[in-house]
Structure 1
Amino acid sequence: MAATEVQVRVQVLRSEWTKIRSVASTVWTLSVALVVTVALGMLISALTRNEFDSVGPRERLTFDPTFISFAGMSLGQLAMIVFGVLVVSNEYSTGMIRTSLAAVPQRGTFLSGKIAVATALALVVGLVTGFVAFLLGQAMLGPHRASIGDPGVLRAVIGAGLYMTLIAVFSMGVATMLRSPMLSLGILMPFFFLISNILGHVSATKKIGRFLPDQAGSRIMQVVPTAGDDTPYGPWGGLGIMALWVIAALAGGYVLLKRRDA
């Protein structure tokens, strides 16, 4: 790689970092993702501790204290979706995309720089959220808590951060294809919070729903399998399926960015 090309890539990364940290909405969404995930996880963990004595012996066998800590992930991922959409679509909604593409005509370099910076930031926030949610959630569970050294627990905690990161990157890919923040959120929100849940819990469509990105990816956060679980993949397999969805979304975004005008 020529020195000038390296310099261009470095400048693009610096530019994208400046854009992200200078927009208050993107910073706030990451903060909300952390706070909501941790707070709701602590609340559910505390309630679980109070009701644990009334739980039957069968439920105790499949009790997963680690997964309980991530009960707030369903709302935390909402903020990560918003972050991913805003990172990409803010420039389209303000018209700054024309200036950005004029400054960096290599659209692959432009998109990869934006995705790289946003992914790194989402990964840091995701990992911090995963560890904090686990530690505080286990504190709320008291005698029923798990230890970070227990089999599968560290994998689940790190996996929670990876899951949040992939949710954000998937949203970036979709937003790159659609360009509009309202349209992107209008599709992603019902997809993750309505369609996916319906397909994943209705017996007729359950086998299809388990291959959706959130259903598959969330397996990485589970340590104790649920009763009667016949899912044909494990925790890392589920995360791999989610990663394939992310790659497909990014590839679609790249193709459309290359083909159409700003």
Structure 2
Amino acid sequence: MATTQVLRSEWTKIRSVASTVWTLSLAVVVTVALGVLISLLSRHEYDNLDRDDRLSFDPTFISFAGMSLGQLAMIVFGVLVVSNEYSTGMIRTSLAAVPQRGTFLSGKIAVATGLALLVGLVTSFIAFFLGQAMLGEYKAHLGDEGVLRAVIGGGLYMALIAMLSMGVAAMLRSPMLSLGILMPFLFLVSPILGNVPATKKVGRYLPDQAGSKIMQVVTPVDNDTPYGPWGGLGIMVLWVIAALVGGFVLLKKRDA
């Protein structure tokens, strides 16, 4: 099957499955709604901040506060895109139609990543503009130094989270097992490692913590992270590459 046919086939699969469409929609709604709420609360609490907190005040990053929950929907999307066919048994039919397994998985990841990136960028821009509207006099402007990079970075971050999830799902094949590993890892293990002094230096190299630096414009006063926004995104990309390579290798070695 030609590459264009593979891409068209994967696009049809994604848009015809209600769960994948709903998860992307949820990613937008949750990210934007929570970002607006946190931005509004931050505006009212600004006068109560001490000197260091005011110096660390990052209106751009605050508008992305909902990203922590929005990425949950992106994780589910990435897992379902890959593992749905395994759970339904359709993977055998798909691999019979596209015997080149590398082409099959590449097409699936390419289409899903393109869609995740589009949704991520739209979500990031909406969250930014609405969040800044809630911040009022404390808002940032898109033309300010580092702001456009952070807003575009928000979309890249969401797409990379989806790609990481696809790679893990390709390795594990089970949606429940994939989610059972990704959820605790990103929402429990990573925050604990990042906030405990003894493990903080390890936690900062985990994909979510490193990647989220791309959305920061103001460096916190007590920040001692040895990399910047693009360095953090680069670390996240390495995690994604490792997951995808693992998925490709195992797909080629195992039976459907």
Displacement of 1:59 in angstroms is: 1.1
Which of 204, 207, 210 is residue 213 of structure 1 equivalent to?
A: 207
How many Å separate the matches in 2 of 1:131 and 1:122?
14
2:63 to 50, 54, 69: 69
Partner of 1:120: 114
- Partner in structure 2 of residue 132 of structure 1: 126
Gaps of 5+ in 1: 1-6
Residue 254 (str. 1) matches residue 251 (str. 2): no
Equivalence for 1:43: 37
Instruction: Give the 3-state SS of the residue equivalent to 1:39 in structure 2.
Output: helix
- What whole-Å deviation, never above 9, does each CA across 1:199-257 have from its counterpart, x for those lacking one? 11111011110000001000000000112211111000000000000000000000000
2:158 corresponds to 1:164? yes
**Deviation at residue 51 of structure 1 after TM alignment:** 1.2
**Alignment match, 1:88:** 82
- Candidates 18, 22, 33, aligned match of 1:24: 18
What do you get for the CA RMSD once the two structures are aligned?
A: 0.6
Shift of 1:54: 1.3
The counterpart of 1:243, out of the listed 197, 218, 237, is 237
Q: Are residues 1:152 and 2:154 paired?
A: no
Q: Report the TM-score, using the length of structure 1 for normalisation.
A: 0.97
User: Does the 8 Å CA contact 2:120/2:158 hold for their aligned counterparts?
Assistant: yes
Per the TM alignment, residue 62 of structure 1 is displaced from its structure 2 partner at its CA by: 1.0
**1:108 aligned residue:** 102
Cα distance between partner residues in 2 of 1:70 and 1:248: 27
In structure 2, stretches of 5+ residues that fail to align are none
Q: Which position in structure 2 is the counterpart of 1:226?
A: 220
Shifted more, 7-16 versus 83-92: the winner is 7-16
Identity of aligned residues (%): 80
Kindly indicate whether residue 175 of structure 2 is the aligned counterpart of residue 181 of structure 1: yes
Number of residue pairs matched by the alignment? 256
**Length-normalised TM-score, structure 2:** 0.99
Deviations 1:165-223 (A, max 9, x none): 00000000000000000000000000000000001111101111000000100000000
Post-superposition Cα deviations, 1:2-35, rounded to whole Å, max 9, x if no partner, equal: xxxxx61000000000000000000000000011
Q: CA deviation at 1:57?
A: 2.1
